[in-house]
Amino acid sequence: MHRYELEAFFTQIAAYAAKRRLGDKDRKHRPNASYADMLERMRLPLSNDGMPVLEMLSRLTQQAEPGLGAMTGPRFFGWVIGGSNPVGVAADWLTSVWGQNVANHLASPAAAAAEEVSGKALLDLMELPRESSVGFVTGATMASFTCLAAARSEVLLCVGWDIETKGIFGAPPITIVLGEEAHSTIFAGLKYLGFGDANIVKVAVDGNGAMYAAAFAEAMEKATGPIIAIAQAGHINSGAFDPFTDIARIAKAKGAWLHIDGAFGLWARATPTHRHLGEGADLADSWSVDGHKWLQTPYDCAYAIVRHREAHARAMRIPASYLPGAGDGARNPSDYVPELSRRARGFATWAMIAHLGRKGIADMITRHCALARRFAQRLGAEPGVEILNDVVLNQLAVAFGDDRQTQATIARVQQDGVCFVGGAQWRGRQIMRISVCNENTTEADVDISAEAMLKAWAAVRSA
Ligand SMILES: Cc1ncc(COP(=O)(O)O)c(C=O)c1O
């Protein structure tokens, strides 16, 4: 690319990015085009000669725009999606500009060091054991997979089975003990590792989806052989936390490995206001947590944190004669994740922690939880609207009349586009799930959104 063309190209992208983000607040919180429309619009001109970069850029933005979800908008409450903060986006751009492959410390000392120091800061922020190793992965799904691979390796080694040399076939059976409302991605991770329903014991949970400590104790009492126990910090529908102190004590007494899925909830430990919810979580052996949720980094970014560094590396390391080892105290990033080549996620994490600081992170999480309670007050005051969960964190499960009416209300809200929410089935009921997880969401955004939801509900009720 010619120098002037390169300058114009990058300048134009930066100008576009600023304009796009400045418009987040006023844009409809829904895509304007359907998937079928977008397949048509995104048709790829597979020409012989290609096209000039500026033309390509303008085509890509124009063609994609109508089908973009408003995930960076302040009234996006679907799933649990952080706002891809511009600071993290900029650091991610730099990562691509620098073109860093973070597989090993020799190829990119800066990228490897950014991961190491950011990892240490994460342990500090969430008050987890400082000796833990941190792998930078795509999402909490892969983080749990990675942690559970380390768990599998360690619990088998403890009974004399070296899975790295002997493999899984013929290994002593492992019992998995988890809450019956564990997140679906935990079951995915277990499936990738060779576990099926027959290996899993599900423990009863309370009305908010948190495991009963007594039921966990009973399940553990009956379990034999190597055990992996899995608990949860932040239930996807209710935000509930399992009773970690009791669970960890029981797990330890049985010699079990305890993993905690804390995709968003583990961040509660970084706040003075909600730290108590995650009390005892530091007693576990491994943790999965997302950066792209409550740290607001862009997708994809999550952390597989393991107390036992050697088990973590044993499960993940990819030895090859052409790759530098991790000697002299240097950490090879690929020793702690399933991939060799990947983007250097440490820079965006470094940037977000540096930008927000300890107080900025804590204040944002505290504010989101207060906004969730504000939603509950506004919606719960309306006849026919039920808040089904105890709003302990940033998640709400709301019913508008019966299941059919709740579905119809969600559809109307989505169509209206003032805000975005999704639905789910929980405890035999259709719910609207609201997640407050965008740094830019204000009280006014909650009020406008609650009004839009109640307007949709009124229309459904009178239909
Ligand atoms: C509790 C919990 N675990 C795991 C996940 C999966 O996270 P990811 O989509 O980042 O893989 C989520 C996503 O919302 C979650 O809420």
| CATH level 2 (architecture), domain 92-351 | 3-Layer(aba) Sandwich (3.40)
Burial (CB count within 10 angstroms: exposed 0-12, middle 13-18, buried 19+), residue 382 = middle
List, for residues 341-384, the tens digit of each pLDDT value: 999 999 999 999 999 999 999 999 999 999 999 999 999 999 99
pLDDT of residue 45: 75
Q: Establish whether residue 185 lines the binding site of ligand 1, counting it when its CB lies within 6 angstroms of any ligand atom.
A: yes
Helices (H), 67-136: 86-98, 109-125
pLDDT at 82 over 80: yes
Q: Establish whether residue 290 lines the binding site of ligand 1, counting it when its CB lies within 6 angstroms of any ligand atom.
A: yes
The sign of the torsion formed by the CA atoms of 137, 331, 90, 39 equals negative
List, for residues 281-294, the tens digit of each pLDDT value: 999 999 999 999 99
Neighbours of 221 (CB within 10 A): 10
pLDDT at 185 over 80: yes
| CATH level 2 (architecture), domain 367-461 | Alpha-Beta Complex (3.90)
Q: Across residues 57-78, what is the average pLDDT?
A: 96
291 C-alpha to ligand 1 centroid (Å): 11
pLDDT of residue 110: 97
pLDDT of residue 237: 98
pLDDT at 330 over 90: no
pLDDT of residue 174: 97
Q: Establish whether residue 259 lines the binding site of ligand 1, counting it when its CB lies within 6 angstroms of any ligand atom.
A: no
Q: Are 183 and 148 in contact (CB under 8 A)?
A: no
List, for residues 214-259, the tens digit of each pLDDT value: 999 999 999 999 999 999 999 999 999 999 999 999 999 999 999 9
456, containing H or E segment: helix 443-461
List, for residues 431-444, the tens digit of each pLDDT value: 999 999 999 999 99
Q: Which of 44-53, 137-146, 448-457 has the lowest mean pLDDT?
A: 44-53
pLDDT of residue 309: 96
pLDDT at 301 over 80: yes
pLDDT at 36 over 90: yes
Cβ-Cβ contacts under 8 Å for 9 (sequence gap 6 or more) = 1, 53, 54, 57
Nearest to 233 by CA among 186, 278, 290, 190: 278
Edge-to-edge strands of the sheet including 395-400? 385-387, 395-400, 429-435, 422-426
Atom of ligand 1 nearest to the CA of 302: 10
So where are the chain's domains? 3-67, 92-351, 367-461
pLDDT of residue 5: 87
List, for residues 412-427, the tens digit of each pLDDT value: 999 999 999 999 999 9
Q: Establish whether residue 182 lines the binding site of ligand 1, counting it when its CB lies within 6 angstroms of any ligand atom.
A: no
pLDDT of residue 386: 98
pTM of the entire structure? 0.97
pLDDT at 326 over 80: no
pLDDT of residue 411: 98
pLDDT at 166 over 80: yes
pLDDT of residue 340: 95
* Mean pLDDT (the chain, rounded): 96
Cα separation of 303 and 287, whole Å? 8
pLDDT at 327 over 80: no
Confidence of residue 46 (pLDDT cuts 50, 70, 90): confident
Q: What is the DSSP letter of 196?
A: -
Q: Establish whether residue 183 lines the binding site of ligand 1, counting it when its CB lies within 6 angstroms of any ligand atom.
A: yes
Q: Are 370 and 363 in contact (CB under 8 A)?
A: no
pLDDT of residue 80: 96
Q: Establish whether residue 140 lines the binding site of ligand 1, counting it when its CB lies within 6 angstroms of any ligand atom.
A: yes
Residue with CA at minimum distance from ligand 1 atom 3: 263
List, for residues 88-140, the tens digit of each pLDDT value: 999 999 999 999 999 989 899 999 999 999 999 999 999 999 999 999 999 99
Using a pLDDT cut of 90, give the percent of the chain over it: 94
Burial (CB count within 10 angstroms: exposed 0-12, middle 13-18, buried 19+), residue 148 = buried
Q: Establish whether residue 298 lines the binding site of ligand 1, counting it when its CB lies within 6 angstroms of any ligand atom.
A: no
DSSP string, 310-324: HHHHHHH----TTS-
